[in-house]
Amino acid sequence: MSDFSLVPLGEVLYPRDEAPTTEAVLSGAIPIVAKVRFSDGGIELRDSSTSRTELIMVRRGDLLVSGINALKGAIGLHPRSAPGDIAATIHYSAYELNEDMIVPRYIHEYLRSPAFRRRAASQLPSGIKTELKAKRLVAVKVPIPSRAEQGRRLLHLDARNRLVDAMVARRRGESTMVLGRRITVGIEARHLLAARLREMQMDILTRTTMGALEDVLIEGLRHGPSFPCAVDGEGTPVLMPSATTGFGLDMTKVMFAVATPELRELDYLSPGDIIFARGNKPDQVGNCGLFEGDPDSVTFANLFMRIRVNSSSIEPWFAQYWLMTPMVREHVRRHTKGTGPSIQKINGQGVRSIPLPLRVSRGVQDWWIDHLDQTRLLAGRLEALMTKQDLDLAVLRQRSAEEIFSGL
């Protein structure tokens, strides 16, 4: 139990009842809050200066609380060092702080902690899970240590967080697109596979002459069918564009046909088929994966092209890996076009003209397939390990806050 007396938050948080002027908002002088992050309580601002809802004023030094997601961590602190005041929609509440009693950073960290969530849950009506409107927040009674004690606890929290930050930094980098997937954790593992694909490309280019993908096709490229589908549909499973994110084929990324669409035999995938993203976000066009499931059981979304190669001249897995090489990725980038930034496409001629080595011996193909299979498996294990470590560090950070606010 806490050694500190309980004080209603209304004694240290004073609801601010101000609205910004329309002119100040439209001119951009007072920017609008886009969101308060659950992860760290950081405040993000909109690029636009328009709003369909009423706005409140958030002064420098104010605490900003999401009325809907406060108990999920959406509580921000607009620092006194900020360049100016900001505005937020009426889904938020702003509070001036009684700095004679509380250190701003302390109350920000405490209100986002599990200790506060437990205390609030014990005093709020049982139906409230995450919503925390002003009248309920100010009524919650919490222990308020002295400012000196608040400062001491913050020092301990900062020291622990620095250690966790250092460990996270060794495992996480800037968001980077590597082999068709944007990642921050496990970048080195993905770069390992990318390096081996580059080596394969250099080796094959010294061994043989180049042709095009159309030279090894046993039938024309085929778009996936188009029909309504849903997560809870009961018809044929449909592989969605996200199934090839990062290359490979994630068979869990499916939706299901609604009703019973008319599908032809060629609309279904067969083992050895490669599905190729002809339309997607610009840096994901060309992502592809090799299907190894049961024949005539799964179809594919319209934004895919199905590629069937002549397996007597080129192994499907060799073709799959070749489509991941830098040479092919650059070809796809040059042939990808679109009128909008979100979805761009490559046409059939752009795919058919993809440069492809011809008459590579079966022994060389098998060697590279085996080698890249092992590298892909190793990279996957490393990436999974680093992702698990990243999650463990997030838990460690939460436990640090738990201990710092223990008894409060």
Q: What is the domain-level CATH number for residue 35? A: 3.90.220.20
pLDDT at 103 over 80: yes
**Within this chain, do residues 11 and 112 fall inside the same structural domain, yes or no?**
yes
Q: Which of 27, 99, 107, 103 has its CA nearest to residue 65?
A: 107
With bands split at pLDDT 50, 70 and 90, how would you rate the model's confidence at 239? Answer: very high
With bands split at pLDDT 50, 70 and 90, how would you rate the model's confidence at 3? Answer: low
Q: Which domain holds residue 68?
A: 6-144
Domain presence at residue 44: yes
Q: Residue 52: its pLDDT value, please?
A: 85
Domain count, the chain: 2
CA 385 to CA 167: how far, in whole Å?
A: 14
* Over residues 282-294, mean pLDDT: 91
CA 49 to CA 22: how far, in whole Å?
A: 10
Of 122, 144, 166, which residue constitutes the final position of a domain? 144
Q: Residue 1: its pLDDT value, please?
A: 44
Beta bridge partners of 35: 44
With bands split at pLDDT 50, 70 and 90, how would you rate the model's confidence at 88? Answer: very high
Q: Residue 347: its pLDDT value, please?
A: 94
Which residues make Cβ contacts (< 8 Å) with residue 151, sequence separation at least 6?
Answer: 103, 106
CB atoms within 10 A of CB 330: 11
**Within this chain, do residues 139 and 224 fall inside the same structural domain, yes or no?**
no
**Within this chain, do residues 227 and 313 fall inside the same structural domain, yes or no?**
yes
Asked if 108 and 401 count as a contact pair (C-beta separation under 8 A), the reply is no
The H-or-E segment that residue 210 falls in is: strand 210-212
* Over residues 150-174, mean pLDDT: 90
Of 359, 375, 401, which residue constitutes the final position of a domain? 359
Q: Which residue has the tokens 């002459």?
A: 209
Q: Residue 86: its pLDDT value, please?
A: 96
Domain presence at residue 385: no
Q: Residue 2: its pLDDT value, please?
A: 52
Of 326, 343, 359, which residue constitutes the final position of a domain? 359
Beta bridge partners of 355: 212
* Over residues 223-235, mean pLDDT: 91
